[in-house]
Every structure is written in structure tokens, then in C-alpha cells.
Structure 1
Amino acid sequence: MVGRVERNKDIAQEMVQNTASRVGNITSIITTAVGDVAREVGELVTDGFELRDAAKKAEKAEKKAEES
């Protein structure tokens, strides 16, 4: 028969292991989310650079057309 102290130790051990596992899962979710957000922000900035370059090229082409 398992004594009260041993039973309480087993419960505490199970709770600590379960909590550690849950915290690990939550950390993984947050890490993935932060990476996804960083990737999206990077792509947004890249899109901005591409739009700026396209606008500059269009402006140069317009000036050339006016000079001709």
C-alpha cells in the first residue's frame, strides 16, 4: 500500500511534469508566432522597396517620354 507522503509526491511530480510540458508547448507556439510575424513584416518592407523602385522607374520613363 502506498503511503500518503509517497502519493502526494507522485501527484506533485505529475503536476510539475505536466506543467513543464504545457509551458514548453506554449513557448513553442509563441516562438513560431514571433517568427511568422517577423517574416510577414520583412515581406511587407520588401514589397515597399519594390513599389518605391517601380515608382522611380515609372517616373524616369515618364521624364524620357516628355523629353522626346
Structure 2
Amino acid sequence: MKNFFELITESIGWLQIVASPFLIGIIIGALIYFPNPSSITLILGIIVAILGLFLGIMWANKALKGKGTI
């Protein structure tokens, strides 16, 4: 049962680390899109949000391989 508990806590920690840059990317993407809504700014906003997601995944995996997320 200890392994299951560790898996759950590490997963929650991993998701928390991923969420931080992803939310920052969403906010920056929204700031790009909403002042001037168009197709170009929508694409740029989505790219920024996806970039935040990828950076968050890389950061969380690095933390998980190092000392762990919790």
C-alpha cells in the first residue's frame, strides 16, 4: 500500500508543477489574444499556452527524476 500512496502523492506533485507554467502560458496567451481578437493572435495565444504546457512537463519530469516532486 505504501507504493500506491507514493504514486498518488508524486502524481499530484507532478500535476502541480505542470500547472504553474501552463497557467502562466494561458494568462499570457489571453493577454495576447483579447486586446485584438483575430486569427493570428488566437494562434499566437494557443502557441504560448502550449509552450507553457511543454515547459511545465519538462520541469516536472526533471524534478521527478531528481529528488521527486514531494
Larger Rg: 1
* TM value normalised by structure 1: 0.43
Greater relative contact order, per chain length (Cα 8 Å cut-off, separation 6+):
2
* TM value normalised by structure 2: 0.42
Bigger helix fraction = 1
